[in-house]
Amino acid sequence: MQYHLIKSTTGMFTDHPTPPGGHLSRRSRRRFASAPAGPDGSTPRRAESVAMQAGKAAGSREGGRPLQLTMKRGYEVLRDPHLNKGMAFTLEERQQLNIHGLLPPCFLSQDVQVLTILKNFERLTSDLDRYILLMSLQDRNEKLFYKVLTSDIEKFMPIVYTPTVGLACQHYGLAFRRPRGLFITIHDRGHIAAMLKSWPESVIKAIVVTDGERILGLGDLGCYGMGIPVGKLALYTACGGVKPYECLPVMLDVGTDNEALLKDPLYIGLRHKRIRGQAYDDLLDEFMEAVTSSYGMNCLIQFEDFANVNAFRLLHKYRNKYCTFNDDIQGTASVAVAGLLAALRITKNRLSDHTVLFQGAGEAALGIANLIVMAMKKEGMSKDEAVKRIWMVDSKGLIVKGRASLTEEKSRFAHEHAEMRNLEDIVKDIKPSVLIGVAAIGGAFTKQIIQDMAAFNKNPIIFALSNPTSKAECTAEQCYKYTEGRGIFASGSPFDPVTLPNGKTLYPGQGNNSYVFPGVALGVISCGLKHIGEDVFLTTAEVIAQQVSEENLQEGRLYPPLVTIQQVSLKIAVRIAEEAYRNNTATTYPQPEDLEAFIRSQMYSTDYNSFVADSYTWPEDAMKVKL
């Protein structure tokens, strides 16, 4: 049990018991900071109280370090990743917390601790070993983990998320060290609300949930898919400043159709085929209701790596009822459109002037296509004309009218045309100016296709967005080489810089969803948005594109440098909040006078807190009993 100082309505500081995350329990938060729930079940919040809960008004020590009080003592402190500072505890803290003697007689600053982790990181040669090193750090010292991540986000993001997280998921049973999130199975129906109470934190503002059926480009990994919500939420904090103790990873285990996993004696999930149909839908319905009942209608629920058959269906089912979005559909769409908007500054025309061809017609492709239509409409083009600009290729070839077995989503982009199967022939026939790969077919963009794109266009736009790297449709080097340096390239996974024959070095842009979901989450949480519309993702794309400088474009970058990602996330959050207040969809009131300062106050600090309370003496005659 911890104590966190919060200023009451009388202006006095009061201490209240809180769970180990260092924040108020839901009961205390409701009592001292929250307005009554609205008729729709949402929880309006007073902006002043929320700012105080961020720790700004929680009292501080010298140097502005927030004071953190805890009832824990001894080894319990060192076992709690929210509290543990390792050898950064001062002598006074060690004595007061009863941990003196449990640590070596050495006192390290947090910066020195970061250097220690970096040295250990560099000693390792396997990215999977590096992933395990960082996850182990997260399990024992949370603030140091995020300090390390934010010290060089460009270096560590490929380890904690794509592409290494895909490898980590494939070996998740071997890499599993301790619980980090909730595992809810199809056999737990009727008990999900009770299971949520098992989680040690009572205030949850963001959940990432998966059923493990379509993990990146790797397919059905079942329970091993838990690595995705864990990695995603780590980036919520590292890139967006969302407090980690207010985030919850969830794995919905309904079985797996992966025979290799079912036969693996070390597999840690349910050992039967996937259960589908009504039982599956009942599980999802109960989960959504239990989450909002426990954490409020404002709790953000991000769907991640669900199969195509469920992704669109569940998004349409829940989007207007809950605060939810699907990152594979909407997040991917937003980052792809951001790259296209930035590319327009090179091609010197409008998005509606382009013809777009997708290799792939799954949830990512359809999400991008729908947002492109929305962006073209914003330029003044009609919806029907915008749709005509977009072509798609799936596993059966070009999507055309009259072709059998088209889903409702695919049929929207079916045009009058002869059926074709070969991608090279399709590119020659359609002559697109934009080619986007999202089918996870490595090498799908052949030398001939790339050369044809360069023949049709002065600056062909080629996005190889599939993850992990082995599934990329082409490499950055292939794109630049076969277009003679004229290609505009972006990828889903990172690629090394490419030096052209003329000596110019290009830095390929990584269209990673991490440019999108942390800022969206921060904005939604800060203003208490109840529903997340498509306009949020077009706004996000516009903000990201605006952060790309002319110098970035000249270097081949279509996205702002990753080192600026927290600033980008903040700008996204501010724009989302501004529009929410303008449209009367926010629930955090009164509206803060300075939205940016208010949102900054909500962001997680990676700096250590102090555990030493103020002490002082009274005059001796004030305590002396006179006889």
609-624 pLDDT, tens digit each? 999 988 888 998 888 8
Specify the pLDDT at position 521. Answer: 98
Query: Is the predicted pLDDT of residue 18 greater than 80, yes or no?
Result: no
Query: Is the predicted pLDDT of residue 220 greater than 60, yes or no?
Result: yes
C-alpha span between 156 and 9 (Å, rounded): 43
pLDDT digits (tens, 9 = 90+) for 572-591: 999 999 999 999 999 999 99
97 φ, ψ (degrees, to nearest 5):
-95, 5
Q: Beta strands 206-210 and 300-303: pairing type?
A: parallel
Distances (CA, A) of 241 to 42, 67, 459, 474: 23, 20, 37, 33
Q: Does the annotation place 214 within a ligand binding site?
A: yes
Query: Is the predicted pLDDT of residue 50 greater than 90, yes or no?
Result: no
Tokens 């025979």 correspond to: 259
575-597 as b/e: b if 16+ CB within 10 A: bbbbbbbeeeebbbeeebeebee
Non-local CB neighbours of 138 within 8 Å, separated by 6+ positions: 81, 145, 180, 234
* DSSP single-letter state for residue 609: P
Specify the pLDDT at position 230. Answer: 96
Specify the pLDDT at position 44. Answer: 57
540-558 as b/e: b if 16+ CB within 10 A: bbbbbbebbeeebbebbbb
Specify the pLDDT at position 487. Answer: 97
Specify the pLDDT at position 21. Answer: 39
Q: Does the annotation place 304 within a ligand binding site?
A: yes
Q: Which two tokens stand for residue 293?
A: 């009942």
C-alpha span between 434 and 344 (Å, rounded): 11
Q: Which two tokens stand for residue 426?
A: 């399709």
Query: Is the predicted pLDDT of residue 78 greater than 80, yes or no?
Result: yes
Neighbours of 489 (CB within 10 A): 28
Residue whose C-alpha is closest to residue 465's, from 331, 314, 306: 331
Find the range with the poorest average confidence among 27-41, 156-170, 297-311, 498-512. Answer: 27-41
Told to judge if 608 belongs to the known catalytic residues of this protein, a careful annotator would answer no
555 φ, ψ (degrees, to nearest 5):
-85, 0
Whether 442 contacts 473, CB under 8 Å: yes
* DSSP single-letter state for residue 245: G
Neighbours of 618 (CB within 10 A): 7
C-alpha span between 81 and 134 (Å, rounded): 13
Whether 428 contacts 384, CB under 8 Å: no
Please identify which of the residues 161, 267, 480, 604 carries the catalytic annotation: 161
pLDDT digits (tens, 9 = 90+) for 224-270: 999 999 999 999 999 999 999 999 999 999 999 999 999 999 999 99
Which is more confidently placed, 8 or 288?
288
Q: How confident is the model at residue 43 (pLDDT cuts 50, 70, 90)?
A: low
C-alpha span between 288 and 597 (Å, rounded): 32
Q: How confident is the model at residue 541 (pLDDT cuts 50, 70, 90)?
A: very high
Specify the pLDDT at position 45. Answer: 58
* Domain range annotation of the chain: 1-105+612-627, 115-322
Which is more confidently placed, 199 or 46?
199
426 φ, ψ (degrees, to nearest 5):
-65, -45
Neighbours of 564 (CB within 10 A): 14
Specify the pLDDT at position 58. Answer: 43
Helix H or strand E encompassing 253? strand 247-253
Highest mean pLDDT pick, 39-43, 170-174, 503-507: 503-507
Tokens 């018991």 correspond to: 17
The letter for the amino acid at 361 is: A
Whether 558 contacts 488, CB under 8 Å: yes
Q: Which two tokens stand for residue 266?
A: 């070390």
Helix H or strand E encompassing 546? helix 534-546
Please identify which of the residues 147, 232, 410, 571 carries the catalytic annotation: 232
pLDDT digits (tens, 9 = 90+) for 257-312: 999 999 999 999 999 999 999 999 999 999 999 999 999 999 999 999 999 889 99
* Residue 18, SS3 per DSSP: strand
276-296 as b/e: b if 16+ CB within 10 A: eeeebeebbebbbebbbebbb
Q: Beta strands 300-303 and 247-253: pairing type?
A: unpaired
Told to judge if 530 belongs to the known catalytic residues of this protein, a careful annotator would answer no
115-322 homologous superfamily: Malic enzyme, N-terminal domain (3.40.50.10380)
